Amino acid sequence: MAIQDGVEYALYALHDLIHKRNRQDVSLVLMGDGGNAAALHRLAHELELDAYVNFAGWTESKDVLRYLTVADVGLSPDPRNGLNEHSTMIKTMEYMAMGKPVVAFDLTETRFSAQDAALYATPNLVEDFAKNIEALLDDEELRLKMGATGRRRIEEKLSWDHNEKKLLQAYEKLFPTSSQSQVSPTATLLTGH
């Protein structure tokens, strides 16, 4: 939870849902830690969200799966900035792999990755982010459809099986090797004194 992750946008959206749209049927789990975590705890308290937010901290894989299994919507509140516009967000891929619909800000790479598995809010606009969360919460059929779309996208386009060859070709273009200096990918380096 660093400043570039935009977790505060998720908290502001939750505040909008609870205190402006009068929703009492929502809760938010925030997994992770980092330099901005203490400020986020304070913000949640200031926004009167203590009863609605669970700060899970660093979370083991089995617990991440447990949380994602019961979640209705995955949030990718990464704001538009020089870093996020062109970065693939792992959490978005995890939501899609688990068949969960995503709400994200409309960033170039996020839209390329998620496509129809996400609803996109105007970048950095909390009210639009909250509106999209509410739209998914109120439409189970849409959630299921988008979740299935995301899962299919992971299986058919984004998994390692589909991208390994492309990545290795890109590495070969960037770092061409002569046949004399080529090393087997299974080579082991041993050192001794």
Kindly report, residue by residue over 117-139, the tens digit of the pLDDT.
999 999 999 999 999 999 999 99
Helix (H, G, I), strand (E, B) or coil at 179: coil
Enumerate residues 6+ apart whose C-beta is below 8 A from 43.
8, 11
- Give the chain's length: 193
Kindly report, residue by residue over 41-90, the tens digit of the pLDDT.
999 999 999 999 999 999 998 999 999 999 999 999 999 998 898 888 98
pTM of this structure = 0.83
